[in-house]
Amino acid sequence: MALVNLTPHALTVLPREGEAITIPTSGIVARVATARAVVECLPGGIEVFMTSFGEVTGLPEPREGFVFIVSGLVAGHPSLRGRTDVLSPGELVRGPDGQPVGCRGLSRPA
């Protein structure tokens, strides 16, 4: 099985046992189209935006033997329900300095 990282950065997966696995970015990024509109302005000029989510772009059609790793936002998009070949990074793991060092496994949206 080939793991294809469709995020903009390398992904380090920390398995239950064994060494960390780093999956380099593929150079293709899957995204969800977004549109933002100001719906309110709070005191001090702080704008409040409403974000609308559109279609997923950059995600290939299912291919036998391939698993596509995308952001949680992409993986949770309603149009992808039932796609068992789309996963997102699992629980974020931080080092002692608070910086991300990897993720615990991969996740499938409910």
Q: Give per-residue pLDDT as tens, 49-104.
A: 999 999 999 999 999 999 999 999 999 999 999 999 999 999 999 999 999 999 99
**Predicted TM-score of the model (pTM):** 0.88
Single-letter code of the amino acid located at 106: L
Q: What is the pLDDT of residue 77?
A: 96
User: Do residues 35 and 19 touch, judged by C-beta distance below 8 A?
Assistant: no
Average pLDDT score over residue span 21-39: 97
Domain that holds residue 7: 2-107
Cα separation, 37 vs 39, whole angstroms: 6
Count of domains observed in the chain: 1
> What does DSSP assign to residue 99?
-
How buried is 75 (Cβ within 10 angstroms: 0-12 exposed, 13-18 middle, 19+ buried)? Answer: buried
